[in-house]
Amino acid sequence: MADGSISFAGSFPSSEITSYVAIGDSFTEGVGDPGPDGSLVGWADRFAALLAGGARGGGFRYANLAVRGRLLDQIVAEQVPRAVELGPDLVSFCAGGNDIIRPGTDPDDVAERFEAAVAELTSEIGTVLVTTGFDTRGVPVFKHLRGKIATYTAHVRAIADRYECPVLDLWSLRSVQDPRAWDADRLHLSPDGHTRVSLRAAQVLGLTPPADPDEAWPPLPPRGTMEVRRDDIHWAREHLVPWIGRRLRGESSGDGLTAKRPDLAPLEV
């Protein structure tokens, strides 16, 4: 699994889930996980493939409405109504991360708006899978926000309890603490990181995935101080500075983009 590839062969328990809609931001869109043709894959697509393998009688359908850069209110306004309209058996809902990392935002306020969206979704959809935040202690850009993210994550878990939603708990997924789980921009998951999240999502829904999402990584060769410093400088120049620039200009990486799979359609595994 270290090369980011995954086999979907294997036997899975029968499932009542024959349709799935993913909503969210860049994480769910699949940024950091390009396919062979350059289009994005991501954990949700990989999870959908696992669900398709376990769907009773075949005919599994999947839509991905996520768009990078979207804030919670944008996801609620643009994606939640469409998900309800499509009426799938399962919706995955990951939102609020882009709000939490913005200066001055209150995780309690974001959580209240998140809960309102969960209430709407659970009133219409059979199963709503909610997603916590990552533990960012090892992420250079966000480690100083760890307490704020932890507060929001605690809210998400409490909301899930109130509405009886399964939880994709990324905070406890130890394998994504490894730098190899992250893309070169250090902001999004790598193909391996997306793969491990998809495996954990399958576990949460009661499937038996083809690999352990917390499988230990192979040892890394030692790296010298100068090599680490050179990589940090390259990362800051190529990724951090442009990211800060977009924030200062009020721009989003998702401006002008639309959902990659806007309709429920059969999924080729």
- Which has more confidence, 67 or 242? 67
pLDDT given at position 234: 65
Could you tell me the pLDDT band of residue 14, with boundaries at 50, 70 and 90? very low
DSSP one-letter string for 136-176: -TT-TTTGGGHHHHHHHHHHHHHHHHHHT--EE-STT-GGG
Kindly provide the residue ranges of all beta strands, DSSP E only, lying in 61-212, ordered along the sequence: 61-64, 90-93, 127-131, 167-168
Residue 148, pLDDT above cutoff 50: yes
**Nearest to 89, CA basis, from 43, 119, 121:** 121
Residue 186 corresponds to which amino acid? R
Q: Mean pLDDT, the chain, as a whole number?
A: 87
pLDDT digits (tens, 9 = 90+) for 82-136: 999 999 999 999 999 999 988 899 999 999 999 999 999 999 999 999 999 999 8
Torsion of Cα atoms, 184 then 170 then 77 then 99, to 10°: -70
Range 204-239 burial, b when 16+ CB lie within 10 A, else e: bbebebbeebeeeeeeeeeeeeeeeeeeeeebeeeb
Residues 171-187: what's their mean pLDDT? Answer: 90
* pTM of the predicted model as reported, rounded to 2 decimal places: 0.87
CA dist 177 → 94, 144, 172, 206 (Å): 19, 16, 10, 24
pLDDT digits (tens, 9 = 90+) for 70-85: 999 999 999 999 999 9
- Which has more confidence, 228 or 146? 146
pLDDT digits (tens, 9 = 90+) for 233-263: 766 676 666 666 666 666 667 677 899 999 9
